[in-house]
Amino acid sequence: MEHNEIVRAITEGKTSLGIELGSTRIKAVLIGPDFAPIASGSHDWENRFENGIWTYSVDDIWNGVRDSYAKLAASVKEKYGVVLKKTSAIGFSAMMHGYMPFDANGELLVPFRTWRNTITEEAAAILTKEFSFNIPQRWSIAHLYQAILNGEEHVKDIKYLTTLAGYVHWKLTGRFVLGIGDASGVFPVDMNTLDYDKELMAKFDALIKDKNLPWKLADIIPAAVLAGEDAGVLTEEGARLLDPSGNLEAGIPVAPPEGDAGTGMVATNSIAPRTGNVSAGTSIFAMIVLERPLKGVYPEIDIVTTPTGKMVAMVHCNNCTSDLNLWVEMFAELLHEAGCDIPMWKLYDIFYFQSEKGDPDCGGLMSYGYLSGEHVTGFNEGRPLFVRESNCRFNLANFTRTILFSSLGGLKTGLDILFQKENVKVDIIYGHGGLFKTERVGQSYLAAAINAPVSVMKTAGEGGPWGMALLASYLVNKEKGESLESFLSQKVFAGEKGVTLEPNQKDVEGFEAFSERYKRYLAVERAAVENVK
């Protein structure tokens, strides 16, 4: 769009806004009628480990949301000379799952327990057995049941239980709802009714009957709604909460709130069967849209949905690039001491490209970037660990390659079940997130890990906030009867092919050898957890 067209779209309220609360950054993206980003704003934040819990405070949440919006509004003013007062629609998304219980006054009863916590092993195991359906530790229902098993005092006072995206949406609209993709991480969804599984809800209520709690599960969890359905409007109070300057107008339609997995699927146009995407940042997860239900129940694989309710197999790992980032920061510190300051983006590129010179199997080196537990490989706690064999080829190329390979190690463990045991078929996988910022390298290693083509689109760097903005646009711009799949394929991504890499056979064989070593050395990681505090 030309500059004047963008100015007109902003002043006439024909833009759409997406805000996503990720693990390390809250980002707001404003798109025009052509779906291209025209302004953005971001706020960096970090979770805290307090009293054995990974958490963010309520102040962290609202300060971050307001700051990201304020920076976006300032960018609009600076670039286009106009004040942002309205948009056609807004959408909020956030890291999935976790535990946010509120009382009747809307007060948070315990600190937000994020997806990163691995403290619900007992509850998750019991529910998985009772339901014959995998319940991961990070799901809201696992956290709720664990709190019940622990006899936590706050449980009896729960009036509302939701996710981070659901909480933000609720406070800004007054509507207690969740997009179905995020809802499927609160409690299992029935793919036939596109609502919570009522049979399993009855089983849960029966399971806790002897606790004599004053609520049933259906009373306290948000209604599940599909992409494009009515989810409320920005209230006057919500407008002031988001934009204390008073410029933003109330009454703007707000899309169903989604999880970052759902927005990642939208941002990569991978919401149809036989498509999938891998989001690789602080955590890493793969979303594979299924043609049929899986035959088995696997603790490594979650069954969730797309924002339109299609069945998705999700492999989620808590750890991905955090350890890699710390290594790069240490090298930056070393170079600074040597009087050589290099921009961080360039240092990352050097790190990545150096890895291509390494041995296919990393030459006998091994790393576990487990800053937190990793349920896919059976760890409730983690210890970052670097290991090398005595006769290894220890050089910079193999070191960097090992760090990058290990960021995909847990993911491969889960995906091997899908592709090898369940014979799930995919035509292509789309990659997005920090791991793919450097051209080619992360993309080629993922292709080697899964032995399938991997595509990265030009828009992949926009990520979840852009995906949420697209969902907001779909809410108000879809034609009658137009599916989200059609809206994305025919309007948003028409002509967008991206760059696709086929797996390199030497890298495939090297990654297989590395993966076998990764599994074998897990005993060393377990010893580190037991002995290193």
**In this predicted model, what pLDDT tens digit does every residue of 142-201 receive, in sequence order?**
999 999 999 999 999 999 999 999 999 999 999 999 999 999 999 999 999 999 999 999
Q: Which residues contact 145 (CB under 8 A, 6 or more apart)?
A: 120, 123, 126, 127, 204, 207, 208
Query: Phi-psi region for residue 251, left (φ > 0), alpha (ψ -120 to 50) or beta?
Result: left
Q: What is the mean pLDDT of the chain?
A: 95
pLDDT at site 118:
85
pLDDT at site 457:
81
Let me know if domain 1-95+230-267 sits in CATH 3.30.420.40: yes
The number of beta carbons lying within 10 Å of the beta carbon of residue 374 is 23
pLDDT at site 115:
87
CB 520 within 8 Å of CB 513: no
Kindly state the average pLDDT of the residues 83-110. Answer: 97
The number of beta carbons lying within 10 Å of the beta carbon of residue 338 is 8
What are the residues facing 253 on neighbouring strands? 233
Whether 460 shows a pLDDT value over 60: the answer reads: no
Whether 458 shows a pLDDT value over 80: the answer reads: no
pLDDT-above-70 percentage for the chain: 99
CB 473 within 8 Å of CB 88: yes
Fill in the amino acid letter for 46: E
CB 178 within 8 Å of CB 194: no
Using the structure block, give the residue that is written with the tokens 């995407």: 277
φ, ψ of residue 342 in degrees (nearest 5):
-115, 135
**In this predicted model, what pLDDT tens digit does every residue of 228-261 receive, in sequence order?**
999 999 999 999 999 999 999 999 999 999 999 8
Which of these, 119, 162, 147, 154, lies nearest to 208 by C-alpha position?
147
- Work out the pLDDT band at 461, boundaries 50, 70, 90: low
Go through 24-35 and write b for each residue having 16 or more CB atoms within 10 A of its CB, e for each that does not: ebbbbbbbbbeb
pLDDT at site 116:
85
Maximum Cα–Cα distance across the chain: 67
Go through 38-56 and write b for each residue having 16 or more CB atoms within 10 A of its CB, e for each that does not: bbbbbbebebeeeeebbbb
Kindly state the average pLDDT of the residues 511-529. Answer: 96
**In this predicted model, what pLDDT tens digit does every residue of 478-517 receive, in sequence order?**
999 999 999 999 999 987 777 999 999 999 999 999 999 9
Kindly state the average pLDDT of the residues 363-367. Answer: 97
Cα dihedral value 94, 83, 60, 324, nearest 10 = 60
**In this predicted model, what pLDDT tens digit does every residue of 331-352 receive, in sequence order?**
999 999 999 999 999 999 999 9
- Work out the pLDDT band at 279, boundaries 50, 70, 90: confident
Whether 64 shows a pLDDT value over 70: the answer reads: yes
